[in-house]
């Protein structure tokens, strides 16, 4: 029997996890230099705003990072794993082809019975997953959801391509989303345009027991930048309009942590000052589906985002996908 529909869903806890292996720009430059590839801290910071990122140890899986973040979120929400009846993991780097990483996380957390599945929308994955969980709670398919973004992108980077390998890192972030009579998630909007699949992709696959094609991340940075700035502005304005809000009402913008220039441009277009943008890309790099919940938890635990604050989440990624969620925290 399904739970009764709810008027709203609301975030009651956040959590995150970064693997202990911090890799500075200098560390990465030394690694690339061993293969005759030149880069530097100044070159990376100027183009991306990134100073460091975290890489998972060889034995760590996406599900391991997800479990750490989930436990922190559950603790913050005062919730036990067995009280969760919906588990969604947004990831592009699953533990296995199948079963889903969500099912693996479910087992590791000692949960069973509730729905569990993965969402693959690359860097927009967490926004997609949060919007789906909100809809499922509002329609009575769930009452309490655990929504996780987790990645080990270091496994799909070509360390002979300095234009991509300097950008990404590993990590996980999570939220507990519960049915509520008080408004929490106010509006969401999701989009994709498959005409642009080639500008950000990992074109390899497993077939016949072998990896076929190219197993590394490939990106047309200029094309991604041009698309990202435009779609983030339009989807953010659309979500605000749906909620009957204006950009002035947004206390915090929590964007996908891809590139400081994209984030600054998105904020300027909305008329938001830099001090109302949550930035973690400098120390975490681009953690794909994990970046938004990682940034959200960092700001919550750092005392910046407080109860009642209006928060705009916006994501953009390979697919080409994009979306936004407006919520009152």
Report the catalytic residues. Answer: 123, 256, 286
Alpha carbons 280 and 287: distance in angstroms, whole number: 10
Alpha carbons 125 and 300: distance in angstroms, whole number: 21
323 and 313 Cβ atoms separated by less than 8 Å: no
Alpha carbons 324 and 253: distance in angstroms, whole number: 11
Whether the bond between 99 and the residue before it is cis, its omega within 30 degrees of 0, is: yes
Which bin fits 32, alpha (ψ -120 to 50), beta or left (φ > 0)?
alpha
Closest CA to 12 of 69, 74, 102: 74
Which residues contact residue 101 at a Cβ distance below 8 angstroms, ignoring those fewer than 6 apart? 62, 63, 66, 89, 91, 94, 95, 118, 150
Alpha carbons 162 and 113: distance in angstroms, whole number: 44
308-309-313 Cα angle (round to 5): 130
Alpha carbons 198 and 219: distance in angstroms, whole number: 8
Is residue 12 within a helix (H) or strand (E), and if so which, with residue range?
strand 8-17
């Amino acid at each position: 029997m399904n739970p009764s529909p709810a008027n709203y869903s609301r975030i009651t806890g956040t959590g995150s996890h970064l693997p202990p292996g911090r890799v500075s720009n200098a560390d990465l430059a030394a690694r690339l230099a061993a293969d005759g590839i030149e880069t530097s801290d100044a070159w990376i910071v100027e183009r991306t705003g990134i100073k460091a990122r975290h890489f998972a140890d060889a034995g760590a899986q996406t599900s391991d990072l997800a479990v750490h973040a989930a436990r922190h979120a559950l603790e913050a929400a005062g919730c036990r794993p067995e009280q969760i009846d919906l588990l969604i993991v947004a990831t592009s780097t699953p533990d296995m082809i199948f079963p889903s990483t969500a099912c693996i996380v479910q087992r590791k957390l000692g949960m069973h019975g509730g729905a569990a599945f993965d969402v693959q929308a690359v860097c927009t994955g967490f926004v997609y997953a949060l919007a789906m969980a909100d809809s499922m709670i509002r329609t009575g398919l769930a009452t309490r959801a655990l929504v996780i973004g987790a990645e080990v992108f270091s496994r799909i980077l070509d360390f002979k391509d300095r234009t991509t390998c300097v950008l990404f890192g590993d990590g996980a972030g999570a939220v507990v989303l519960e049915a509520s009579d008080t408004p929490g998630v106010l509006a969401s909007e999701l989009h994709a345009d498959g005409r642009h699949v080639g500008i950000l992709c990992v074109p390899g696959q497993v077939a016949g027991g072998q990896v076929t094609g190219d197993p590394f991340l490939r990106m047309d940075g200029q094309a991604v930048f041009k698309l990202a700035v435009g779609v983030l502005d339009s989807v953010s304005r659309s979500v605000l309009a749906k909620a009957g809000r204006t950009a002035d009402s947004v206390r915090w913008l929590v964007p996908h942590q891809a590139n400081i220039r994209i984030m600054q441009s998105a904020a300027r277009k909305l008329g938001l000052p830099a001090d109302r943008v949550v930035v973690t890309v400098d120390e975490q790099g681009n953690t794909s589906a994990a970046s938004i919940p990682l940034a959200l938890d960092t700001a919550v635990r750092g005392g910046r985002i407080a109860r009642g604050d209006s928060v705009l989440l916006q994501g953009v990624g390979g697919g080409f996908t994009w979306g936004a969620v407006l919520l009152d925290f």
